[in-house]
Chain A
Amino acid sequence: DGGITQSPKYLFRKEGQNVTLSCEQNLNHDAMYWYRQDPGQGLRLIYYSQIVNDFQKGDIAEGYSVSREKKESFPLTVTSAQKNPTAFYLCASSIVGLAEETQYFGPGTRLLVL
């Protein structure tokens, strides 16, 4: 059963702490993405990666970091530099090379600051 998994479902961060959100996909998709959703807002792109060991900044990359060591995995670290981390984080993936690509999303992780 193919899909995208994100863990944990809820995550709590203390001041000055880095936290890492997991995203795994078994769809054999080349591209993976991280979005942030705030109440009443659309999805904003944080980082994306189209190939292993390569990634690009999205619109709101400051305070975040990523890695892409494996095709299946694209973890997101929310660093202490991110001053307003409370949000719903969504991971997505897609096939690269199609004229009309569709991104498919995981279930999300809600990050809360203690």
Chain B
Amino acid sequence: DQQVKQNSPSLSVQEGRISILNCDYTNSMFDYFLWYKKYPAEGPTFLISISSIKDKNEDGRFTVFLNKSAKHLSLHIVPSQPGDSAVYFCAASSPEGGSEKLVFGKGTKLTVNP
């Protein structure tokens, strides 16, 4: 049973446009959400996070939105750059699971075309 779902395996956008990556979760106990970016043959890099007490967190070109009622979060990248091309993983943790039990989605491969 997949608790964190990234339903789009891939996404392609033009340079300068907005990239929107989506993530859905089923466990209502999740209270902390993270996005990681991963290049091939490298470890994931932490990008941005959001606590369940917020509905938006912004860091430069990256904004994460959280809709708790819909159990949905999204990562917006504006403007998209070719260097953003990577696989993006959504992850979540709950107080009962502890932060040691991050649950990851399967990832979305973003391609930003010049």
Chain B positions within 8 Å of A78 at CB level: none
Q: Contact: A42 with B106, CB < 8 Å? A: yes
Q: Contact: A104 with B46, CB < 8 Å? A: yes
Cα distance A42–B5 in the bound complex, in angstroms: 10
A102 and B100 in contact, given A42-B105, A42-B106, A110-B41 (Cβ under 8 angstroms)? no
Option from A4, A33, A91, A108 in Cβ contact (under 8 Å) with B42: A108
Cα distance A91–B43 in the bound complex, in angstroms: 8
A107 and B43 in contact, given A40-B9, A42-B89, A102-B49 (Cβ under 8 angstroms)? yes
Answer whether residue A74 sits at the interface, using C-beta atoms and an 8 A cutoff.
no
Which residue on chain A has the smallest CB distance to residue B100? Answer: A48
Q: Contact: B106 with A40, CB < 8 Å? A: yes
> In which size bucket is the chain B interface?
20 to 34
Q: Contact: A102 with B34, CB < 8 Å? A: yes
Q: Contact: A94 with B106, CB < 8 Å? A: no
Answer whether residue B102 sits at the interface, using C-beta atoms and an 8 A cutoff.
yes
Interface of A toward B, CB cutoff 8 Å: 4, 6, 31, 33, 40-45, 48, 50, 56, 88, 90-92, 94, 98-108, 110
Known: A45-B101, A91-B43, A108-B41. 6 other contacts (CB 8 A): A42-B4, A42-B106, A90-B44, A99-B32, A101-B32, A102-B34
